[in-house]
Structure 1
């Protein structure tokens, strides 16, 4: 498997407008197209790539009841068969999702802290 890029980071926030302004003003991103999800949010772009996905939430829990702010991040990669074999050989738990509508196979894994990462491969590579 060869990772080729970080696809995006998905962040939950109670301060959606403030986050949009910060990413645009501080990092030079711009608000761009986003699918019509049934929840508030924004996709923030650098050139033609949506690097940051923001999800607006009503309120955040505190302490041990708090959800992770970072829901997942994703890499684009090549070498699906080699990587899947590597996961199996090493006993790494994963979930395979085939998204035929966008020509993508995702292999979802979780790091030791429980952070969700999906590695995206083109279907039929």
Structure 2
């Protein structure tokens, strides 16, 4: 609810997303090795993690610890993968990404398929079960 004298908040962009992981090494292999994200410096927090650059957005990984809650994401049985929690990243060519994922032995859990508005999309899981959409125009 806004008042006539208060301007609404204006979100400019997504700065980062944070996910909790069980293994920084396995997650590094996925985010840097499979998806090609650049690992970037991370401040000296009192807990372990990694940061990756994805265009103008960062992906922050936090190693599972008592204050982070459990790693991973559970997709309820019978759910439509594309209609549950996920991160989406634009890539140059979703079909080329599919071919590369196949070469690397990374299972595509949904797609590739064309969205009603045109882009081609596909979905993979990171090592902790976080759903990742890759799409291209």
TM-score range, shorter chain: 0.3 to 0.5
Tell me the TM-score normalized by structure 2: 0.38
Greater helix proportion: 1
The answer to which structure has the higher strand fraction is 1
Q: Which has the higher contact order (CA 8 A, sep 6+)?
A: 1
